[in-house]
Amino acid sequence: MSSKASLSQEKEIILAYVIEVLVINVSNAALTLLLGFLLGVLPGTAVCLATVAVFRLFAGGAHASSPWRCAVVTILVFPALALLAATLSPLKQPYVDFLAVVAILTGLVLIALRAPVDTPSAPVISPVRRKRLKYLSIVVLFIVAAIIFCLRNSAWAYAPQMRLCLILSVLWVSLILSGAGQRLMALIDSINLNLPTRREV
């Protein structure tokens, strides 16, 4: 493509980067939604995925060292959050309100203290950009908090489940922003996936 479009080497590198990003994210999102569909929690999975994606754009978070580990975590986490939301949806309103307050306060504190959490492969260098990303993360949190509040008074049958999806997504974002989340990813990175091979006789 680059030779046909006669691109410079620099643009060629950028093109390779963006294609890698698109392939990883689109395939992970598609497989996550597929698992959500198979488990019967597609709308919840989509809500969790979209919420965390918007947060991660601005707040960043812990990262895995390989695309395969990343794919496994991404594909498992979002349907699991949606399943948990579906399981918890019969909970009475005061308990859900308490969970919402805990999630929003935890999210606010962690965003204020740590966002944006960058990686060595994509560092946030400019202090102005760092400040802007933190500000936008807080704006996103307030929008999500407003949606959680609006869903509280909604008559929509799926409102309690979607509300819990948003609450659990905010808690997941808080975890991946925290030191504990980074240690969890380091633990996942340290899992040796090389299965022992049979010794030849």
Partner 1 sequence: MKKILLVFTVTVLMFLAHVTAASACLISIYQPEVPNSLRR
Is 58 among the residues that bind partner 1 (CB under 8 A)?
A: yes
β-pair partners for 119: 122
Residues 161-190 that bind partner 1 (CB under 8 A): 176, 185
Is 42 among the residues that bind partner 1 (CB under 8 A)?
A: no
Closest contact distance (angstroms) between CB of 5 and partner 1 is 5
Question: Using the rule CB under 8 A, which residue among 64, 84, 108, 171 binds partner 1?
Answer: 64
Closest contact distance (angstroms) between CB of 167 and partner 1 is 19
Helix (H) / strand (E) containing 84: helix 67-88
Q: Which two tokens stand for residue 168?
A: 């659990």
Question: Using the rule CB under 8 A, which residue among 99, 117, 145, 148 binds partner 1?
Answer: 117
Choices 21-29, 83-91, 138-146, 162-170; region in contact with partner 1 by CB under 8 A: 21-29
CA dist 76 and 124 (Å) reads: 28
The set of residues, in sequence order, having a beta carbon less than 8 Å from that of 180 and lying 6+ positions away, is none
Distances (CA, A) of 18 to 15, 24, 140: 5, 10, 25
Is 10 among the residues that bind partner 1 (CB under 8 A)?
A: yes
